[in-house]
Amino acid sequence: MQKGNSKLMFDCDSCLFKHTICQYIAPEEFDILYENTQQLRFKRNEYIMKQDAKSDYVVYLSKGRVKMNYETESGKNIILTIANAPVLLGGAIILNNGINIFSIIAIEDCEVCYINIDILKSFIEKNGRLSLTMLEFLSVMFKDSIFNFISLAHKQVNGRIADVLIYLSKTIYQSNKFTLTISRKEIAEFAGCSQENVIHTISKFHKEGIIKSEGKSIEILKLDKLIKISQVG
């Protein structure tokens, strides 16, 4: 993790968070928020937030991709969802006495802002429209997590892995051809199955001509068939 003077690391002028929040607060109020914000860079596999740790900030991901990771009492890792910048993360701590429910981990180089939650809450309490906007920001992650758990609860391995590939294609890489920035093990943690299941299923999809798989490179050749597998479960 790289730390530095937040005024020198990266610019706020094109920031979606600043553009959004400044519709509801005065420039001098944003300056207060800015002065109490840390800008940081993270490498792959570095923790941006740690499960069960106390935090006094929310995270705005301005560049990169992250995974939301939950570790069970038995030590098993579950990936709740994967998120692309720009997105506001960590809002669940507001409802959990400042304790992180899950970890946020970089899956590639990331740029983030740690935004002071007490100052942000003080603005939210004074402005109902800002409150709704922040809820919209934060709901993106929870929506994806809920859909993933529905898939885990009601689908067989083929359907789960089809869902993961479709999600990665449409939401994360935004292309039918992409280079994975997560491992087969992480796909297994996302799909709620074993790494062997992932390797076998991806190989099966490849042999059936549904996808083309070469190392970390994946190309979805027959999206309609992959969607059908997802629907059948």
Q: Which domains does the chain have, with CATH numbers?
A: 2-141 (2.60.120.10), 155-232 (1.10.10.10)
Overall average pLDDT of the 52-67 stretch: 91
- The beta-strand segments (E) located in the chain are 2-3, 38-42, 47-49, 57-63, 65-71, 77-84, 87-89, 103-106, 110-116, 177-179, 211-214, 217-220
Distance CA 4, CA 92 (A): 27
Distance CA 194, CA 196 (A): 5
Tokens linked to 56: 């006094």
* CB proximity list for 155: less than 8 A, separation 6 or greater: 163, 230, 233
**pTM check: above 0.95:** no
- Top-confidence residue, 16 or 205: 205
pLDDT at 88 over 50: yes
pLDDT band at 6 (very low <50, low <70, confident <90, very high): very low
Do residues 225 and 211 touch, judged by C-beta distance below 8 A? no
- Number of helices and strands (H, E) in the chain? 9, 12
Do residues 155 and 233 touch, judged by C-beta distance below 8 A? yes
* CB proximity list for 26: less than 8 A, separation 6 or greater: none
CA-only gyration radius of the chain, Å: 19
Overall average pLDDT of the 64-81 stretch: 92
- pLDDT (tens digit, 9 = 90+) per residue, 92-140? 666 667 788 889 999 999 999 999 988 988 888 888 888 888 777 776 6
Distance CA 59, CA 111 (A): 10
- pLDDT (tens digit, 9 = 90+) per residue, 75-85? 899 998 899 99
pLDDT at 127: 85
A 10 A CB-CB count for 60 gives: 24
State the burial class of residue 83 (Cβ atoms within 10 Å of its Cβ: 0-12, 13-18, 19+). Answer: buried
Overall average pLDDT of the 13-42 stretch: 89
Do residues 77 and 71 touch, judged by C-beta distance below 8 A? yes
- pLDDT (tens digit, 9 = 90+) per residue, 133-183? 877 777 666 666 666 666 676 789 999 999 999 999 999 999 999 999 999
Q: Which of 61-70, 102-111, 115-124, 198-207 has the lowest mean pLDDT?
A: 115-124
Angle between helices 184-191 and 157-167 (to 10 degrees): 110
pLDDT at 14 over 90: no
pLDDT at 222 over 70: yes
Do residues 9 and 69 touch, judged by C-beta distance below 8 A? no
pLDDT band at 226 (very low <50, low <70, confident <90, very high): very high
pLDDT band at 42 (very low <50, low <70, confident <90, very high): very high
Overall average pLDDT of the 48-63 stretch: 91
pLDDT at 4 over 60: no
